[in-house]
Structure 1
Amino acid sequence: MKIQVKVKPNAKQQKIEELEDGSLVISLKSPPVDGKANEELIKLLAKKYQVSKSQISIQSGLSSRNKLIEIVN
């Protein structure tokens, strides 16, 4: 399964919003430094979809706010 995600780092609280087109807007507490926001994103998605962190990968947008995430079941 592939998901379009827009990340908002340095937010006051973590939250996941689902848009009508199926993409997600995810607010993260972590700053976008040294991959911390990406780590938090993967952890949050693993919890939401109840899969292990190793089943989630960032296909594109590693250093961008807009990312393409792949979840392998």
Structure 2
Amino acid sequence: MAKLPVRLTPGSSSDRIEGWGVDADGRRLLKVRVRARPVEGAANAALVDLLARELSLPKSDVTLTRGGQSRLKMIVIANLDEAALAARIENLRLGD
């Protein structure tokens, strides 16, 4: 199981993973944008869908565990360790 901190920006012009950034405390997080608005969990669902698709995982392996109503979220990825998750993210064409 791998943990993935994410900063989500809803209401974007496209769904995309932008790349790595840092939060106010200097911790590394993945910056993600989705078209969905933060209404009735639509942006969170879009985030899970996007991560599952881009990381070639079943949606059931991607779970939002913290930050349901915040831009800063914690995603848990089942069946991958931290190194395997990092490798998959590094193989993505980020920001395109």
Note whether the superposition's TM-score is higher than 0.5. yes
Compute the RMSD of aligned alpha carbons: 1.3
Give the secondary structure class of the aligned counterpart of 2:57.
Answer: coil
Q: Structure 2: where are the runs of 5+ without partners?
A: 23-27, 80-96
In the TM superposition, what are the counterparts of 1:13-24 in structure 2 within 5 Å?
A: 13-19=14-20, 22-24=28-30
Q: 1:20 Cα shift?
A: 5.7
Partner of 1:37: 43
Q: Would the aligned equivalents of 2:21 and 2:31 in 1 still touch at CA under 8 Å?
A: no
Q: Would the aligned equivalents of 2:34 and 2:47 in 1 still touch at CA under 8 Å?
A: yes
Q: Is residue 54 from structure 1 mapped to residue 43 from structure 2 by the alignment?
A: no
Alignment-mate amino acid for residue 39 of structure 1:
A
What is the aligned length? Answer: 73
Mapped partners of 1:48, 1:55: distance in 2: 13
Partner of 1:10: 11
TM-score by length of 1: 0.91
Alignment-mate amino acid for residue 2 of structure 1:
K
Mapped partners of 2:17, 2:59: distance in 1: 17
TM-score by length of 2: 0.71
Q: Structure 1: where are the runs of 5+ without partners?
A: none
Give the secondary structure class of the aligned counterpart of 1:46.
Answer: helix
Alignment-mate amino acid for residue 14 of structure 1:
D
Mapped partners of 2:73, 2:36: distance in 1: 16
The percent identity for this pair of structures is: 33
